[in-house]
Chains A and B, each alone.
Chain A
Amino acid sequence: MDSESYAMARWLLEHPEKSALGAVIVAGVWRILREIWKDVRGKKDETLIETLMRENYELRAELRHGKRDHDHDHEELP
């Protein structure tokens, strides 16, 4: 390890609170930027599996909704 890297590692260890705060903020900001980037891209890069799963969920929700309506209609019959 050269002297600069050693000095940097030593500084990081000597100031645990600053190093911790820096690392946590960098990780948090990176995560937020990733989420924003994902929102901007939207469903453009959706994979085949993701498309199939989304459609499956939508169809199941539709079916459940239809079944509920059907049961409701039967309850109203005399």
Chain B
Amino acid sequence: MNTCLGICYRLRHLLWRAPYSIFDLAMSAGFLAMGLHLLLFPDLFSRFDGVYFPMRRVMDQVMWAWIFIGCGGYGLLIVLWPRRPRFILRLLARMAVAFCLLSFALNNLSSYQPPMSGMLYAVLAVFSIWSIVRIRCDG
């Protein structure tokens, strides 16, 4: 019960005060949703083969979905945890989300002509790498 209240309080703090953690929250929630989306529409990669070919070549769609769900879920858990988690756990959460973003951005940019969302993902990926570099032990 206390943990639930703590999570609600933390969510309110993130939405109200909007510190840098809002980026972590948005990206983690986004990848969790994208993972679920990939599971809901299992033929997405084959239908848009031109865009998702580099990702499909590495793993099939379901595996990517579970990776996104795992990384997004872990990031969400860390950012919403009422007490500040250990530095290494926070760093790992940001690394996981940055890995997803960067994979997605590079995948989109590798197709010719890159889709418009590729630019957005590229910018977000740069920011996610920056968030790893700037994470503070006491922050």
Chain A residues in contact with chain B, CB under 8 A?
A: 12-17, 19-21, 23-25, 27-28, 30-32, 35, 38
Contacts and interface: CB of A to CB of B under 8 A. Distances in A.
List 3 tightest A-B contacts by C-beta distance, closest first: A16-B106, A20-B102, A13-B110
What does DSSP make chain A's interface, helix, strand, loop or mixed?
helix
20 contacts: A13-B54, A13-B106, A13-B110, A14-B54, A16-B54, A16-B55, A16-B58, A16-B110, A17-B58, A19-B106, A23-B102, A24-B129, A24-B132, A28-B91, A28-B92, A28-B95, A28-B132, A31-B133, A32-B88, A35-B137
A27 B110 contact: no
What does DSSP make chain B's interface, helix, strand, loop or mixed?
helix
A20 B91 contact: no
Interface residues of B, number: 26
A14 B110 contact: yes
A15 B132 contact: no
A42 B103 CA distance: 37
A6 to B, nearest CB: 14
Contacts of B105: 16
Contacts of A28: 91-92, 95, 132
B110 A35 contact: no
Contact of A13 (B101, B109, B129): B109
A63 B125 CA distance: 46
Contacts of B132: 24, 27-28, 31
A44 B99 CA distance: 35
